[in-house]
Amino acid sequence: MREYLKSMWERVDREAWQRFFMAVAGLGLAFAAAVFSSVARERGNTLATVIFALSALFLAAVVGFLTVPFLTQRVVAARMKDAFHYELTREGVIYLAVSFVIAIAALNTANNLLFIVLAAMLAAIVVSGIASAAVLRRLELDIIVPSNAFATKPIQLRVNLTNPRLWMPAFSVKVFSPSDKKKRRRGWEWSKTEFIFPKRRHWLRLPDYTFRKKLPPPVLEKILTKAVYFTFIGPRNTVGTEIELAFPRRGHYTQDGFSLATRFPFSFLIKSRKVTLGRDLLVYPALLEPDDFLDVLPMITGEFVSYVRGRGIELYRIREHTPQDPGRFVDWKATAKTGALKVREFTREDERRLRLVFDNPEPGRVTPQQYERAVSMAASLACHFNGENIDLSYAGSCYDGGLHLPDFLRYLATIQPDSRDPQFLDALPVSQDYNVIISARPRGTLPSALWFSSYVIYM
């Protein structure tokens, strides 16, 4: 009982009750002023009658302005929150057809039994509508979405449905993404342009406006692509399930609402209610299978290791001794086996630096399939080398992220061909890092400063 009273107290709308008591007090004062106005009129005091009457009208007007708009807004908000959408099912169509036939038969024969049957059938429709509305009302939805995912790789989404009612359960509830059935009207708009005359000389440049069609709004990709069905949700209970989803393309997925629907109890109608719930998901590029870039990875690794070989603690190779090699690097076991003096050569751990560079091409330079493969190649290489003992950094056209892998993956998730930075590789600073460059430039056009310390993958 204590928990019940506590929950009731938490659900009390304090502002609404404050407005209610203020309205009662104001109307009470207005009623008292009206009574005093009547008394003053009977006594012949005209001035007091006017003052009390105006006071009563003023108080009533103040109560109306402070209370009526507030209550109207609350009622409209409640109705919008609990707005239901109806869809007639095949069973409902058959049921209505049978009801129509019985209605015609009852009117033609004047048989009371047929009228009773027709009344019972119509009553079943009313009961079905009331029951289905009661099932959906006050249900609370929560969808737990991970912050990111890789394209084509399954992820787990958690769908929780809560029934906060004290005694009434919910039956046969489906959670799905609502479909946008409204037509996307483009319309017309004034667009700001520039008048240039002549077009080749540019002698005269003036601001101008043109009347053109509006661009259609972009179609937002939905997150919940599968419907989730709950058979029974008990009162004051939460039921949850996990579903597996895979997204075919990279990009930013967002959804601002989901729908709850039920056929309970007779499946005449599918009654649904939209739940406002915003969720966002960033889908990284699809990672290539090892076989897809196996022909590239050994070449990159080989050239990179050759570039960073030196004196360190990680063995690179055993080679013939030269007069410049110190005696402390002599490998006596290899010398004893081969009969020739051998020395050990190490990689410089402090110089194992690799920079992954994505040269974003302008639109139309490569096909969409080639572009998506290049983006996936960049993401795959970044994930591969991130797990190695390498100081990895990233660079790209219009890339302003940091040195962490998630920053570069977020950059690749939403990148599109762009012509804002066509001279990106020419302005790329030369460093001690070994560069792996993914570019759509023609062969032989790479800047000479990068040629000896880079491996280029052409789109």
Task: Write out pLDDT tens, residues 395-412.
Answer: 988 888 888 899 999 999
Nearest to 308 by CA among 433, 394, 429: 433
Name the more confident of 55 and 3: 55
Predicted local confidence at residue 350, as pLDDT? 46
Say what the pTM is: 0.65
Which pair of tokens denotes residue 222?
């939905």
The per-residue pLDDT for range 129-145, each reduced to its tens digit, is 888 888 998 899 999 99
Cα 255–chain centre separation: 5
Residue where the block lists tokens 């290791």 = 305
Q: Which of 172, 97, 83 lies closest to 128 in space, CA to CA?
A: 172
Alpha helices in 110-221 (DSSP H): 112-136
| Mean pLDDT of all residues in 148-162 | 93
The residue type at 101: V
217-235 tens-digit pLDDT: 556 688 998 899 999 999 9
pLDDT at 443 over 90: no
* CA-wise closest residue to 301 among 375, 380, 381: 381
CB of 396 within 8 A of CB of 357? yes
What mean pLDDT do residues 344-361 have? 74
What is the band of 45 on the pLDDT scale with cuts at 50, 70, 90? Answer: confident
pLDDT-derived band at 238 (thresholds 50, 70, 90) equals very high
pLDDT over 90, % of the chain: 24
DSSP percent split of the chain into helix, strand, coil, nearest 5: 40, 30, 30
> What would the pLDDT profile of 270-316 be if each residue is shown by its tens digit?
889 988 888 999 999 999 887 766 667 655 665 555 555 444 456 66
What is the structure's pLDDT at 47?
87
In angstroms, the CA 63 to CA 342 distance is 100
Report the chain's mean pLDDT, rounded to a whole number: 82
* Structure confidence at residue 190 as a pLDDT band (50, 70, 90): confident
In DSSP terms, which residues pair with 229 in a beta bridge?
174
Q: Does position 204 have pLDDT exceeding 80, yes or no?
A: no
- Which one is predicted more confidently, 12 or 432? 432
CB 261 within 8 A of CB 272: yes
Residue 183: pLDDT over 50 = no
> What does the chain come to in residues?
459
> How many percent of the chain have pLDDT more than 70?
83
**pLDDT band (50, 70, 90) for residue 429:** confident
| pLDDT at 266 exceeding the cut of 90 | no
When comparing pLDDT for 312 and 97, which is higher? 97
Question: How far apart, in whole angstroms, are the C-alpha atoms of residue 437 and residue 378?
Answer: 9
Examine the pLDDT at 384 and tell me if it is beyond 90.
no
Residue 191 has pLDDT above 80, yes or no: no
> Which of 22-26, 170-174, 346-350, 395-399 is most confident?
170-174
Determine the longest span between alpha carbons in the chain, in angstroms.
137
445 or 251, higher pLDDT: 251
**Local confidence band at 40 (pLDDT 50, 70, 90 cut-offs):** confident
Task: Provide the pLDDT for residue 18.
Answer: 79
Q: Which residue has the higher pLDDT, 389 or 405?
A: 405
Lowest mean pLDDT among 67-76, 215-224, 271-280, 429-438: 67-76
Q: Among 207-216, 333-342, 362-371, name the most confident range.
A: 362-371
